[in-house]
Amino acid sequence: MADLLKGKPVADAMKAELIKKVEMLQAKGLAPKLGIIRVGERPDDLFYEGGAKKTCAALGMDSEVFEYPENIGQEAFEAAVIKVGQMKGVHGILMFSPLPKHLNEKKIRTLIPVEKDVDCLTTGGAAKIFTDDPTGFPPCTPTACMDMLRHFDIPIKGKKCVVVGRSLVVGKPLAMLLLREHGTVTICHSRTENLPEVCQNADILIAAVGKAKMIKGNFVKPGQIVIDVGINPDPANPGKYCGDVDFAEVEPVVQKISPVPAGVGSVTTWVLCKQTIMACEMQNA
């Protein structure tokens, strides 16, 4: 039976540390604040927003939602994003994506100040990650994966790390973060040949595919660490979620595995707050 890498102990440890940081900032007269920009009312966005607000409150930090109607025009939305970006009291910005199709998201992303880009939505933010600039904030999910590995003392240096998925939000930045920690990184995608074999060769296997239970028993071997980033509707259990890893097949084989739910997903909003607190510290250094 594999050890379960649950998100809660990681979040709990982070919480204790972040509360102290918020108190230290407050003692200096600073109130770290997350600004959340949302267009429309997509259920996924509302769910994440609720979690983010709750996490901010648990840390004693502020959050404010800037909400716009689904049919807002490009010009009006650009002006709104610029305004939020200029607010001195807002230190970190999360903007839900994708935006409605009539909006030029690429252009709008450029309006978020890089120093407030706590979820790596801007090209400037991504450049910082790819150039190992410590003032950059990686997207929250890859950071959560790294925080999980660190919390559970899983060595990365020199280890074979296989990341399945090459999105800008998870796979690519995660590969850069693993590389920063001296992992030997392989990035896989939909055209990778012999995927099960490549995955079996990993010491640390991270699945960020977006396909329910795609990583099967024949993708893994004993001794491996498996981190499952996926959040998918579970085809076998309507209304429930499952990961990209077929837990029933993989868990009996590997050494450690993060479950879905209660794994990586339960760490991401804490990372969002952590990075907002860091942004507040940097903006007032």
The site for ligand NDP (CB under 6 A) is made up of: 141, 164-167, 169-171, 188-192, 195, 208-211, 229-232, 244, 264-265, 268
Nearest residue (beta carbon) to ligand NDP: 167
**Which residues does residue 187 pair with via DSSP β-bridges, in sequence order?**
163
Rounded CA separation 139/268 (Å): 9
* Other Cβ atoms closer than 10 A to 16: 8
The distance of closest approach from Cβ of residue 157 to ligand NDP in the complex, given in angstroms and rounded to an integer, is: 25
42 or 281, CB closer to ligand NDP?
Answer: 42
Residue 92 is encoded by which pair of tokens?
Answer: 């970190």
184 or 232, CB closer to ligand NDP?
Answer: 232
77 or 270, CB closer to ligand NDP?
Answer: 270
110 or 192, CB closer to ligand NDP?
Answer: 192
* Other Cβ atoms closer than 10 A to 238: 7
214 or 282, CB closer to ligand NDP?
Answer: 214
Omega of the bond leading into 9 within 30 degrees of 0 (cis): no
Rounded CA separation 86/78 (Å): 12
Half-sphere exposure of 9 (CA within 13 A, CB side): 10
The distance of closest approach from Cβ of residue 197 to ligand NDP in the complex, given in angstroms and rounded to an integer, is: 13
The distance of closest approach from Cβ of residue 244 to ligand NDP in the complex, given in angstroms and rounded to an integer, is: 6
The distance of closest approach from Cβ of residue 202 to ligand NDP in the complex, given in angstroms and rounded to an integer, is: 14
The distance of closest approach from Cβ of residue 156 to ligand NDP in the complex, given in angstroms and rounded to an integer, is: 19
- Contacts of residue 26, defined as CB under 8 A and 6 or more positions apart, other chains included, come to 60
